[in-house]
Amino acid sequence: MINPQLPEVFNFLDNVIAQLDRARWVTAYDHSYPQWAKCGDRAWGKYRMGGTYQLFALVWYHHFCRPGSLEFRPKIVMTALYKSVDAIRLTETTRGDRHE
């Protein structure tokens, strides 16, 4: 079963990655890719997200959530990511930004 938060996670990660200029992206990629390569798709499979978004999640974690971290375990990264997406949703709902 696909997590119902996944579309929001993808949107969140797209917005985060869009903030990086080319030089920051290269630095982030060079730091995060080796962490992804430690387990790759094997450990990320249950999250139903392709390699691009797996790497985006690690870049977010390593450079925005916990700068300098070498964490590579998907469960830890995704738990933090889901919490951030939930916090944004709660903020938008509280402010009335969300139109449903």
Residue 96's pLDDT is: 60
Question: Residue 98: pLDDT above 60?
Answer: no
pLDDT of 73 > 90? The answer is yes
- Nearest-angstrom CA–CA distance, 88 and 94: 10
Res 100 pLDDT > 80: no
pLDDT at 59 over 60: yes
Q: pLDDT (tens digit, 9 = 90+) per residue, 21-45?
A: 999 999 999 999 998 888 877 788 8
> The pTM is what?
0.83
In order, the DSSP letters of the chain are ---TTHHHHHHHHHHHHHT--HHHHHHHHHHHHHHHHTTHHHHHGGG---HHHHHHHHHHIIIIISTT-----HHHHHHHHHHHHHHHHHHHHHHT----
What is the domain partition of the chain in residue ranges? 6-95
